[in-house]
């Protein structure tokens, strides 16, 4: 495997950031397009109830993704700092502990899905009409949970190890396989939403195995380290896992926030517009990963650069990277917003027939929803920055603000104030208010913010 030649401490920032950003963006776009295509196949092959049922179950998958990203971010930040200090052994220990912790949590989620599926669907707001379809989608998805976590944590550490192109392939290859299997299982084989879930599980298994294979055969510095089974070692492992979770918790909250966004949206859309409203809202939820992928690609590309230079006490490169990431995030947000404004009717047509009741609801609401893209990109970039310099409290506060504290009241109050348009403007309103607060705080604090190496 030809390794990318990257020097986080001395390479010029724009070529370095570009070398990280381009493959990261391609990989994430592949994953987000997979979500979109999955929705298209389910919408066209099963109908609006099928797409609504998938949207009911999707938060479980997002929780698993969030746990993987939480430990991926946490392990990558800490390991990046240790690598800048030439402590390769500590970086390997951190990596191994992150993989083990996420694996145990994956097992707990799978057990809950298998043992109490009806109770979980009830908590997710599933109606009686959607129950059988939701069960058909949820149970085969259990095979994906462990491997999607491994894939998420693996990609973060693979980039830190200097191989962003391999991380890209860990996303691109499973995405292509999933798209092919989606088509085969939904249309020729007629498996419906169950086929979509099986296709997702197979592709996640492949992605997870590719990530594991990197650390076994191709890794440079980051390899698995054999942990000691002593009381002292277990105590240190628990401490390190806790610190990883604290740093990466904002990323986990971002996935939880998307789950809250979907669950709360499902409830309010169901209340006002019934199943067709949920189906229309599902299209926005399918498209949200496109918005998320661009913003998250910026944050994840900047993270190893910022963490490494933070560990090396090079604050100049830290803040220069932040400025570069913010400019990139704004451009990406504008591209997504304009694309959804101009192409709303065409995008909705990919998912639903014009004869469906959900079609007109989605066409009218999607341009309103699209206004969130620019604000979301800025928010995620700032949250990633604070994680990268070991400021988890600020990252957590801003994530809670945009994803729960402002979002849930917006979903409840805006429809009462301005009608059905408020359903679609709830997410943009929460993101915009969060951006304003972040910028106000940053304006007063950045001149005093001098990252210091953690003692």
- Tell me what pLDDT residue 255 has: 72
* Cα separation values, 213 from 166, 201, 392, Å: 11, 18, 31
Tell me what pLDDT residue 1 has: 47
- What is 23-60 written as a DSSP string? HHHHHHHHHHHHHHHHHHHHHHHT-HHHHHHHHHHHHH
Over residues 113-165, the pLDDT tens digits come to: 888 877 777 777 676 777 777 788 888 888 788 888 888 888 888 888 888 88
> Residue-wise over 105-134: b if at least 16 C-beta within 10 A, else e?
bbeebbeebeeebeebbeebbbbeebbebb
Domain locations along the chain: 17-445
User: How would you class 154 by CB atoms within 10 Å of its CB: exposed for 0-12, middle for 13-18, buried for 19 or more?
Assistant: buried
Query: What average pLDDT does this structure show over 381-387?
Result: 89
**For every residue of 330-343, which 3-state class applies, written as one string?**
HHHHHHHHHHHHHC
Q: Does residue 222 surpass a pLDDT of 90? A: no
Residues 6+ apart with CB under 8 A from 246: 74, 392
Most confident of 54-63, 179-188, 219-228, 432-441: 432-441
Distances (CA, A) of 52 to 135, 158, 276, 421: 12, 35, 8, 20
Residue 3: pLDDT over 70: no
The terminus-to-terminus CA distance of the chain in angstroms comes to: 37
On the question of pLDDT at 455 being above 50, the answer is no
- In the chain, the percentage of residues whose pLDDT exceeds 90 is 6
351, 316, 337: which is closest to 40 by C-alpha?
351
Chain mean pLDDT for the chain: 81
Residue 443, pLDDT > 80, answer no
- pLDDT higher than 90, residue 217: no
At 455, is the secondary structure helix, strand, or coil? coil
Section 79-96 average pLDDT: 85
CB atoms within 10 A of CB 177: 18
Is the confidence at residue 252, as pLDDT, over 50? Answer: yes
Segment 410-428 mean pLDDT: 87
Residues 141 and 196: beta-carbon distance below 8 Å: no
Radius of gyration of the chain (CA): 21
pLDDT digits (tens, 9 = 90+) for 280-309: 887 787 777 777 778 888 888 888 888 888
Residues 230-255 have a mean pLDDT of 82
Which pair of tokens denotes residue 84? 């800048």
Confidence at residue 454, expressed as pLDDT on a 0 to 100 scale: 40
Mean pLDDT lowest for which of 19-23, 77-81, 346-350, 429-433? 346-350
Mean pLDDT of 62-82: 84
Is residue 83's pLDDT more than 80?
Answer: yes
**What pLDDT is stored for residue 132 in this prediction?**
79
Helical packing angle, 13-45 and 344-351, nearest 10°? 50
pLDDT at site 445: 67
Asked if the model's pLDDT at residue 432 lies above 90, the reply is yes
Average of per-residue pLDDT across 55-81: 81
**Do residues 288 and 426 lie in contact, with contact meaning Cβ atoms separated by under 8 Å?**
no
What confidence score (pLDDT) does residue 450 get?
47
Residue 170 has pLDDT above 80, yes or no: yes
Do you know the residue count of the chain?
455
Residue 48 has what pLDDT? 66
pTM for this predicted structure: 0.74
Q: Is the pLDDT of residue 5 over 70?
A: no
pLDDT score at 19: 84
Segment among 66-75, 206-215, 321-330, 351-360 with least mean pLDDT: 351-360
Please give the pLDDT value at position 87: 87
Overall average pLDDT of the 57-69 stretch: 79
Q: How confident is the model at residue 438 (pLDDT cuts 50, 70, 90)?
A: very high
Helix (H, G, I), strand (E, B) or coil at 413: helix
The single residue listed with the structure tokens 């993704």 is: 65
pLDDT at 209: 92
Query: Among 453, 284, 310, which Cα is nearest to 362's?
Result: 284
Choice between 350 and 440, residue whose per-residue pLDDT is larger = 440
Q: Which residues, 6 or more positions from 351, have their beta carbon under 8 angstroms from its beta carbon?
A: 39, 40, 43, 44, 51, 283, 286, 362
Tell me what pLDDT residue 451 has: 43
Which letter does DSSP use for residue 73 in this model?
Answer: H
């Amino acid at each position: 495997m030809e390794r990318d030649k990257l020097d986080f401490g001395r390479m010029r920032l724009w070529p370095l950031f570009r070398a990280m950003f381009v493959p990261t963006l391609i990989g994430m776009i592949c994953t987000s397009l997979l979500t979109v295509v999955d929705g298209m196949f389910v919408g066209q092959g099963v109908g609006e109830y099928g797409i609504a049922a998938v949207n009911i179950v999707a938060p479980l998958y997002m929780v698993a993704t969030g746990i993987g990203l939480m430990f991926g971010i946490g392990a990558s930040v800490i390991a990046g700092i240790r690598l800048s200090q030439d402590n390769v052994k500590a970086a390997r220990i951190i990596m191994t502990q992150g993989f083990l912790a996420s694996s145990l949590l994956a097992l707990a989620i799978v057990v809950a899905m298998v043992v109490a599926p009806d109770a979980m669907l009830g908590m997710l707001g599933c109606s009686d009409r959607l129950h059988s379809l939701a069960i058909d989608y949820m149970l085969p998805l259990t095979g994906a949970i462990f491997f999607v976590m491994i894939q998420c944590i693996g990609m973060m550490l693979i980039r830190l190890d200097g191989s962003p192109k391999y991380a890209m392939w860990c996303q691109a290859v499973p995405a292509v396989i999933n798209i092919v299997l989606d088509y085969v299982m939904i249309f020729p084989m007629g498996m419906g939403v169950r086929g979509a879930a099986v296709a997702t599980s197979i592709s996640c298994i492949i992605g997870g195995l590719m990530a594991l294979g990197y650390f076994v055969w191709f890794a440079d510095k980051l390899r698995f380290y054999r942990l000691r089974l002593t009381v002292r070692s277990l105590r240190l492992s628990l401490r390190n896992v806790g610190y990883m979770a604290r740093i990466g918790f904002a990323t986990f909250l971002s996935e939880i926030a998307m789950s809250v966004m979907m669950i709360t949206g499902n409830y309010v859309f169901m209340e006002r517009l019934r199943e067709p409203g949920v189906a229309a809202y599902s299209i926005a939820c399918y498209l949200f990963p496109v918005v998320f992928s661009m913003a998250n690609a910026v944050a994840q590309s900047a993270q190893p650069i910022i963490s490494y230079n933070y560990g090396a006490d090079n604050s100049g490169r830290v803040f220069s990277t932040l400025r570069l990431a913010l400019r990139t995030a704004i451009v990406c947000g504008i591209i997504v917003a304009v694309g959804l404004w101009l192409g709303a009717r065409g995008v909705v047509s990919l998912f639903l027939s014009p004869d469906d009741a959900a079609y007109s609801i989605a066409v009218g609401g999607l341009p309103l929803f699209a206004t969130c893209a620019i604000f979301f990109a800025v928010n995620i970039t700032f949250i990633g920055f604070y994680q990268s310099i070991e400021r988890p409290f600020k990252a957590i506060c801003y994530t809670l603000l945009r994803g729960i504290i402002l979002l849930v009241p917006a979903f409840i109050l805006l429809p009462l104030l301005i009608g059905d348009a408020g359903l679609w403007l709830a997410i943009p309103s929460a993101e915009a208010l969060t951006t304003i607060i972040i910028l106000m705080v940053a304006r007063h604090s950045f001149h005093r913010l001098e990252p210091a190496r953690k003692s």
